[in-house]
Structure 1
């Protein structure tokens, strides 16, 4: 039987505490989670490690999940008149540095090509960390009139961001796969509509495909995309660590890039105008979030809509009922499921016994296992074993395909509801600083009143103060906190769905009048 180390810590119930209650040291727990996560992704054949730090091989089991997301997403963006294209991997130094705020935001992560063979290049060439500065000179060439707008393009590609923090497969890598949408519009409002439609597609990827609830909202001024007007985001919650993770972002770029790259057009009156732009992206981080939200002590638990295999059929043979006798019956079950467009495999390998196969497919997270033995052949039925929750049910062969399809829908719904409940149990409101860090220690996301807007210094104050108190509570006063999983709190988003804010409510940090609620957490 494949070996897999237990990887999920117990899930604590929702709690709110006063500062006088005890605290939990987080750094050691983060390390434990990281080790277990690595076990899961390797033993389930999602990832193979590579000899360059931060770069990983996506094996077919994980790449198929990405393909299923791609297939769904392409259908949805076509409904928005977005077309797929492809732009080069490399960007010249002049182009990359043309937009000051943009390059400053990415400068530490840019990888440069400086040689061709033994010869130095005349000028270094950057490997794209994102494609605004690659695509927008082309936009300038293509857009001349208001009739050329809106221009809506998407590309599926890889990018490189040379992270210096601890790399983690899927979650924080130096090379990753993504889609990036880039659009140009005649008005601010049209661009804003595109931003929100793109973000809603990301919400649907997480909630409808991956069965993960997310909180949509605006990034604060401090956290928004460098060089853009505003950034929207969907934020997910990782139960095993009590941390948040940014799921995807959609940016309103305003006219900043349009002015830098001369993306101008003649309006209906013949006057020259600058286009309003958006960019939006979703990455293979989605797969890592899914693994950490749904996995259990055995390994992966895959939502049916993105599972590479939704069912596996396992024959149970005996001396009196060899595989030759079971094979035609299992084959008929296979065909009936394929006719329903269910992704299914017959595991008729003779070198492994049924127990090994059970453990193998459970570890890989296949939603339903169909066991077929001599008694099932005799009774014209089969046993369904559900990965999520472990339910076992015997079904007659005549209604088996319909039963499996219904069970897959039920599992998808159940996984989402389970994740929603756990996330909601760990989303708390805090209105006084004394309760802020204690709730972070209990794996909670924290909603607080916030003065917002131009008061960016108070975000840094919360980050520094929460780090200081957390390290002190763990007995680590004066220790550095520079890893990828810092104990400091950061703003996640200003949720679109805002709770009531009573008049006179004070900002939790500055004490100034609050203008909104903001969500904080420890983040990957």
Structure 2
């Protein structure tokens, strides 16, 4: 549909570049579905672009990989590896597939986003040409496509959650703060509500999203458990004694810690700083987990021992560059090459499987 449309839209270099972004639902007849990660129907965001030059298309492809990496790390608090797929793993019809790879808490990798440099392959298949600026000669356009999907929700859940439920980074939480009143009478609730609504208003002034849960149908303990399950980053509890003392109880979801804080002039700034700290702490926890579960293997026995362990993780190992070796390793261990890292260091070595020369290490892992 996209490239058939581009054939009608593009005649001249003046029509380029075309940068199309869409949000859509997709149906794929998956043999084995997995909630969030591989479902028969899912939502995705994807882009399709057409350019006059090869370099412009490559720049677009790399830019989108970096956009996805930035979102994953700075909003999802999810550290990712940026890299290029091998020929066997790249998107069909692409010359290069750039990707971001994340490590889940069970030691398995998850492809969190891809960006494809299509070269002129789709342009030639659909005969999409343009008259260039240097005399009007007809040339094929250069294309890219890129996308992420609701798989990111699966990544968020698997990377950060614990036995109590979700752990949401503040930058993505529907509500960053929930205020729960502790009361025994309507009179107490009215007094607490007056203070709670002032707190809510003051926090909203600095851009913090707040929910005041004054439902009478559920007890405070039930609400505490509910918001832990939903991953709300900060919970503020206010009871009659807090009103007397001019304090509140503040609980952070990520570390399950509680502290008493004074309702003074610095309260709003303290909550804002706490949210920043939670965002950073969640990222650091995931980053440290990846660091502790990233290994180097120099022999096939070492490689298999790491891959077959319960902990799993990323394995940096030499590969001879052949699809045959890649396929044999996959068949024998179920591990795949997740990416050739963008920052791959030149390092002469021998392939862990074949013993043939290798110019650098690639990242292997079992994956979803």
TM-score, normalization: structure 1? 0.68
What is the correspondence of 1:450-465 to structure 2 with a 5 Å cutoff? 450-452=319-321, 455-465=322-332
Unmatched runs of 5 consecutive residues or more in structure 1:
1-133, 467-487
Q: Cα distance, 1:404 vs. partner?
A: 1.2
Give the whole-Å Cα distance in 1 for the aligned partners of 2:209 and 2:195: 18
Q: Distance in 2 between matches of 1:418 and 1:465?
A: 32
Contact 1:385-1:393 within 8 A present in 2 as well: yes
Which 5+ residue runs of structure 2 have no aligned equivalent? Answer: none
1:178 aligned to which of 36, 39, 44:
44
Asked if structure 2 preserves the Cα contact closer than 8 Å seen for 1:236 and 1:245, the reply is yes
Match of 2:359 in 1: 515
**Aligned Cα root-mean-square deviation (Å):** 1.3
Superposition deviation, residue 338 in structure 1? 1.6
Alpha-carbon shift at residue 319 of structure 1 (Å): 5.0
* SS of match in other structure, 2:5: helix
Match of 1:265 in 2: 130
Which of the numbers 284, 290, 294 marks the counterpart of 2:156?
290
1:336-347 aligned at under 5 Å gives the runs 336-347=202-213
CA distance in 1, matches of 2:301, 2:99: 28
Aligned equivalents of 1:136, 1:464: Cα separation in 2: 36
Q: Is the 8 A contact 2:109 2:313 kept in 1?
A: no
Residue 274 of structure 1 is aligned with which of 110, 115, 140?
140
CA contact (8 A) 1:308 1:343 kept: yes
Kindly indicate whether the alpha-carbon contact (under 8 Å) linking 1:368 and 1:386 is maintained by their aligned counterparts in 2.
yes
Moved over 6 A (4+): none
Deviates more, 1:197-206 or 1:439-448: 439-448
Question: Alpha-carbon deviation of 1:235?
Answer: 0.5
Map 1:75-224 → 2, pairs under 5 A: 134-165=1-32, 167-224=33-90
Equivalent residue, structure 1, for 2:297: 430
Following superposition, the deviation at residue 324 of structure 1 comes to 1.8
More deviation, 216-225/141-150 = 141-150
Superposed displacement of residue 382, structure 1: 1.5
- Find the counterpart in structure 1 of residue 200 from structure 2: 334
Whole-angstrom CA distance in 2 between matches of 1:216 and 1:359: 37
Deviations 1:9-49 (A, max 9, x none): xxxxxxxxxxxxxxxxxxxxxxxxxxxxxxxxxxxxxxxxx
1:373 aligns with 2:239: yes
User: Aligned partners of 1:500, 1:227: CA distance in 2, in Å?
Assistant: 28
Aligned counterpart for 1:246 among listed residues 101, 108, 111: 111
Partner residue, 1:317? 183
Deviation of 1:299 after TM superposition, in Å, equals 0.6
Paired with 1:285 and 1:343, the residues of 2 have a C-alpha distance of: 25
SS of 2:103's equivalent in the other structure is strand
Contact 1:451–1:516 (8 Å) recurs in 2:
no
Deviation at 1:321, TM superposition (A): 6.0
Alignment of 1:439-518 (within 5 A): 439-440=306-307, 441=309, 442-452=311-321, 455-466=322-333, 488-501=334-347, 503=348, 505-518=349-362
Question: What TM-score results when the alignment is normalised by the length of structure 2?
Answer: 0.96
Secondary structure at the residue paired with 2:350? coil
CA distance in 2, matches of 1:271, 1:510: 48
**More strand, by proportion:** 2
